Structure 1
Amino acid sequence: MIRNKNILLGVSGGIAAYKACALTSKLNQQGADVKVIMTENAAKFVSPLTFQALSRNPVYIDTFDEKDPVKIAHIDLADWADITLLAPATANILGKLANGIADDMLSTVLLATQSSVYIAPAMNVHMYAHPAVIANMKKLDSRGCHFIEPGAGYLACGYVGKGRLEEPESIISAVAEHQGGKALFAGKKVLISAGPTQEKIDPVRFLTNRSSGKMGFALAEAAAHLEADVTLVAGPVTLQTSNERIKRVDIVTAEEMYTKMHEHFQTSDIVIKAAAVSDYRPKHIYDNKMKKQSDDWYIEMERTQDILQSLGEVKDHQFLAGFAAETANPIEYGISKLHKKSLDAIIVNDVAAEGAGFGGDTNVVTYVNKSGEKEELSLRSKQEIAEEILKLIARDMKDETT
């Protein structure tokens, strides 16, 4: 997965820059074509000549040092790269990339590249835990950057803790593994539902729930990164989609979501219902705003159609997965839902658990397939959870065909 790849290695100004020398050499040995961009501060730790000798390519530092008058260097490099790797990534370069700052060669290329971006942070343990750095990493993670977490140990500053740049071999293995699964869903059509629904009471009131749509949108983005053609049926949320592989269909009510999911179901290979659909809706919708009254007001409710069960009843070739958002006995209820609705897998989400539930950027889930195999996915970003869920689905689909 590394051989014959054009790899752009960004080296920022930290003591761990010396490890980037070994990283350059090992990438080169594995058949990659490596070009190095250094920040001015990185050049104070390691000579650019070292990287030039190891990569057998020119080293780039100055945005205005145009080595070929026919090309604009930072755009040419951005277009050239199959993979962009930041190692080490300091707090400074993370902040620049997260906030769209382009004030040197490396940060400018990072904003221009369309390649996969892998980030291997390295910094003091307290810097790594600072809320600003954490927020920047979360922002980059949500945009599809892939992080290779630092190791824990003795740091150059004298502290012991997390912040040491991962070893070159481990960085290469992480990139190769991810690249190997990048086209996992190539040619597959994936249908995903996300967000809440709204059920109208009168012109100014409606019933809904706390779903933000973040988990479903993360699944859509992750599936698109795996080269699937994605249809995302989204309830009323404030989230945006940018990947051209995602076809977004916006709906409001449970009935609209039922219609759109069935409309796209037969042509889909994988269907994941992550939406939190209203189970009930007002039986009567008022044409005018209901005025405040002196006594109580009762709203008669009727059941909405069970979208997931209806899909399970008509599925043939599709891999069908659902979510079970529970607050008590989550696994028990989840497995019951799995069998009752003829699913291939259920993702059980204890919304009462710390770091899980609606609205947040993290989640904790248990993936259970129809064979009863369970995989617990511990607290991590919803983007990471989404990636792991799709890997498990791919595994189960492969098992079915072997």
Structure 2
Amino acid sequence: MRLIRGARGVALGVCGVLLAGGCTGSGGTAAKKTSSVDAAARALLARRATAVLHHDRAAFLAGIDPAATRFRTQQREVFTDLADVPLAAWSYQLVRTGAFALPPTADGSSRTAAEVRLSYRLRGYDSSPVVSTAYLTLARHGTRWYLAGDDDGDASGHRTAVQIWDQGPVRVVRGTHSLVLGLGSEKTLRGYADDADKAVPEVRHAFGSGWPGSVVIEAPSTLDQMAALLSAKPADYRDIAAVTTGEGGGNAAAPADRVVLNPAAFGELSAFGRQVVLTHETTHVATRLSTTASTPLWLSEGVADWVAYRDSGRTAREIAPELAADVEAGRTPAALPTDADFRSTAKGLAQAYEGGWLACRMIADQWSPDTLTTFYRAVAKGGTLDSHLRASLGIGLADFTAKWRAYVEQELG
């Protein structure tokens, strides 16, 4: 995540699936009904996936309930908006039917709510799929099942994840090391790709190989659209220029990363600021497999800023003005920033970033850049921070904190 600175099991009952009119008959009958509905749902979703991959508009719309006119219009638009996205794979997994209760229909026809996992990969960029959850309403007319909606579960908290092609026609811009999926002008999207193309070599130089060496950017047109992509409140990201999905922790089975831009905040930055943001976020992409729940945010965000600023030529006071003001006022932080300090709404968010950056910069300066990256990878494996500091730097957490406080005062005082 990068803010603006200086220049984001339900228990089944006897029926197993909820249909309009409830469940009657023996357990065996109910099980057959469940199996029949699930089989029909899987077949419907398989046809839909094939239609997407083969750009078959007629087949795609054939699976939409003719009576669900609003949803049918929406899905017609989604199919068009998705047309240029370079898909290598697209599939659905039915998690369950009867995901939530639906009100009975006026004509007594059968419906069920399905929880579904969508998986997709972008050609040439994703080695692992992006996976999201959708809650789809299925309706039966005669002997055939159709998709009839994707927002009937909103009121009960069963919200379908928003994708950028749900928000408008997606333009695709390819860079040397980047792919931009966006809703803005081609000129604007090309600028994002150019900045990302500069960022990738910088990150590779600082953190090495062992990652894809490319970055995928999603560029919505508004803050509200960005928040929808992140399933978040717009106010929480008003001053955040960009977020890398899943940046707080990863593992070998981690999904593909996306850098999601806040067009308003990103647009307020200078050329230098934009480059810093995209280098920072690209570092999160590169460190994904070396970042776990054991990695404190001061380290993951600090390393991202260290890479972004290391060759900037800017002074510490220029890069960390908020923390410099605190030091000047006699408010040198007593401890390293906590994970809570990095919440998008936290007071002193800028100081948390600046403090994390200086901690990582200190390791690189007083030990070595290789020591910093080795320490980063070691922390991800688990164990205490104190033990990793002792193994990598030769000092424990208390001494490291004291050394960092002195470094902050030296650089910013």
TM-score bracket, shorter-length normalisation: under 0.3
User: TM-score normalised to the size of structure 2?
Assistant: 0.24
Higher helix residue share:
2
Between 1 and 2, higher relative CO (CA 8 Å, sep ≥ 6) is seen in 2
Higher percent of residues as strand: 1
